[in-house]
Amino acid sequence: MTKICSKCKEEKNIGKYDLNPSNKKDGHRSDCKECVKTRCKEYSKIHKREIAERKRKYWEKHRKEIAEKRKEYRQDHKEEMAEKRRKYLKINKEKVANRRKNYSQSNKEEMAEAWAKYYQGHKEERLKYSMQYKKKEVQKLKNNYIKAMICQKSELKHKDISPVMVDLYRSLILIYREIKINKQGVTL
């Protein structure tokens, strides 16, 4: 089924027209989607300030509801948003890197102040996290790495170090870290 657009006068498939239930003849608008789109763009250009003012007033009036809806949406669509972000970063690696580099270069002082303020306000948390991270990492240490550490601190060769010695040295590292934590007064 086709229909002639009331604006551009072209005959187009009925799928090229938006639905309009009030049009009793065929249930579609009289102007095609392209003409509606063109008209909306022109209106937006001409009435740019008024539209911006209307949006600003609406935002001020409904700020809390909008913020709540956005928060809800972010929570409900966490995975989708994370996937979109990953895809965007993958596709635009250089663009993102340049943007970050330019921002950090032009805002060095502000960033340094912000980080210093953050570090001051979160000393205990950072120390706890650091110690917990180190604990986990020591437990993950590969045997070869520990053997290399033992070789550096003794005259033993790599092949002479037994698995028992590796486990003991790993435990010793954990003990030293625990002592360090206790000296700094941080409880885990």
pLDDT given for residue 87 in this prediction? 96
pLDDT at 139: 61
**pLDDT > 50? residue 188:** no
Per the listing, tokens 């551009």 go with 8
CA nearest neighbour of 180 among 144, 130, 139: 130
For the chain, the average pLDDT equals 89
Q: Collapsing DSSP states into helix, strand and coil, what is residue 1?
A: coil
The model's pTM? 0.43
In terms of pLDDT, which residue wins out, 73 or 23?
73
> Phi then psi for 11, rounded to 5 degrees?
-90, 125
39 contacts 46 by C-beta, under 8 angstroms: no
Residue 163 makes CB contacts below 8 A (sequence gap 6+) with 143
| Nearest-angstrom CA–CA distance, 150 and 163 | 12
Helices and strands per DSSP (H, E), number in the chain: 9, 2
